[in-house]
Amino acid sequence: MDTADLGLPVDVPSTALFTDRYELTMLQAALRAGTADRRSVFEVFTRRLPEGRRYGVVAGTGRVLDAVENFRFEGGVLDFLAQQRIVDEPTLEWLAGFRFRGDIWGYPEGEVYFPGSPIMRVEGSFAEAVLLETVILSILNHDSAVAAAASRMSVAAGGRPLIEMGARRTHELAAVAAARAAYVGGFATTSDLAAGFRYNIPTVGTSAHAFTLLHDSERDAFVAQVDSLGSDTTLLVDTFNVAEAVRTAVEIAGTELGAVRIDSGDLLLLAHRVRQQLDDLGAKGTKIVVTSDLDEYAIASLAAAPVDAYGVGTRLVTGSGHPTCSMVYKLVARAESAAPDAPLVPVAKKSMGAKTSIGGRKWAARRLDAEGVAEAEVVGSGPVPEALAGRELLVELVRGGEIVAREPLDAARDRHAAARAGLPLSATQLSQGEPVLPTEYVGA
C-alpha cells in the first residue's frame, strides 16, 4: 500500500491560497483587458547558486504536482476572496471553475542544476499559469535548499548512513517536506513519523536524555530500554560520564548491543575513546552514532573517526546556511493574441542590475566529455543541436492538466546519486568555489 494515498492532517484540500495577492489582481486586470487567455510560457530558474556551492539539487517536484492537482478555488476560499474584496465578481466566477489545464515540463526530481537551468517550464494561458507562481516557488526553493545541503552532507559522510532529525527545529509542515528532500539528497532515515507515514521514508529513534533522567540511575534507564526494545537498541551514553555509561551499557545489553549515541562533547576524541572501549569489552559489532549540531563540515572533520552514522537536525532543515535557492518564476514567451494559433514571441525583463533574464521557450541538455563526465550545461531555444540529442534534461510532468510523471521517492533518490556521480570530481569539494559546470546559451 502506498502510504501517501492514506493522507495526513498535513495535506490540505486546496492549495489555491498558497499564493500572493498580486497573482489574483493581475488575473483580474488581465481578464478585463482581454489578455488573460494569451498562451504563455513561464520558467523557473536561478541566476546564481548560493555562495560557494558547486551544484544545486532539484527537489520538491512531486510535491509541486500534488499542489497543482489540488489548486482549486472551493466555496470557503471564494467566500474569503469576496468578503475581503480581493477580486471582483467576474474574477470570482472565473476562479470557481479553475483547473490547471496546461502543460508542465521540468528537470526530474533529484537531478542537479546550475545557474540559468530552466528547472521547470509551465505553459498555458496567462491566467492559469500566473496563479501557480508562488506555490511552485515556495516548494522548489525550500525543498531544493534542503536537498542540496543533504547532498553535501552525504558526500562528506562517505557512505555512512545519515539520519534526518530536524523536526523540532522548523515548522511542523516544513519538517515533513524537509525529511522528504533530505531523503532525495541522500539521507537514509528520518526521526519524523509524519514524514515516514506520508512518504514511506524509514524511521528511527530510541530515547533522549529525559528518559535517562526519569529513572533513579542510568543503569535503571538502560535496563528498561533493553528490556523493552532488545539488545539491538541504541543507548544514549553522554548524560553523565561517557566511559561509565559505555561500560554499563555493555554489561546490561551484552556484546550484542546495537549502538551507542554520543550527543555532546568533543565528538572526534570521544568516538575514538568509545570505539576502543567497546572493542576492549568485546562489543566489536556495536556501532557509534553521533549527533549534536552537525553540518557537512563537521561531518567531514569526523571522516577519520570510527563513527558509523550521523544524526543531523538544525543545519539540514535550514539548508546549512542557505535556506532558499533564490529561484524565480518568469514569463519568457507569450502569444501575440488570444487566438489559439497565435505565434509565441520571446519576452524578458531588462534591468540595470543583476535581474535580467533571457526570453524564449528553452530546452536544456548536458554535454559530456570523452570520458562521459559532464562538462557543460547547455541551454537554448529553437531546435536542439544534433550533438546533444538524447541528452535533454526536461521531462514531461503535466499534459493538458493531467499528471503524467508521478514516481516513487526512491526513484528521485537514485537519480540524484547518479546525477552527482556524473559530475566532475571537484563537485564534491566542500571548499568555496564556482559552479562545477558552466552554463552555455545557444540561440538565445
pLDDT, position 154: 98
Cell of 85: 474584496
SS3 at position 189: strand
Residues 369 and 348: their CA atoms lie apart, in Å, by 32
Residues 88 and 421: their CA atoms lie apart, in Å, by 52
What's the mean pLDDT in 434-438?
96
- Cα 118 to Cα 38, 69, 232, 324, 359, distances in angstroms: 21, 22, 47, 17, 11
Which tens digit of pLDDT belongs to each residue from 261-304?
999 999 999 999 999 999 999 999 999 999 999 999 999 999 99
For 138-239, list the strands marked E by DSSP. Answer: 162-164, 189-190, 234-236
pTM: 0.94
Which tens digit of pLDDT belongs to each residue from 314-325?
999 999 999 999
In percent, how much of the chain has pLDDT > 70?
A: 96
What's the mean pLDDT in 227-246?
98
Model confidence at 153: pLDDT above 80: yes
What's the mean pLDDT in 364-381?
96
Q: Which residue has the higher pLDDT, 122 or 353?
A: 122
What's the mean pLDDT in 154-164?
97
| Burial profile 64-79: b = 16 or more Cβ within 10 angstroms, e = fewer | bbbbbbebbbeeebbe
Strands 259-262 and 287-290: parallel
Model confidence at 439: pLDDT above 90: yes
Model confidence at 10: pLDDT above 60: no
pLDDT, position 13: 60
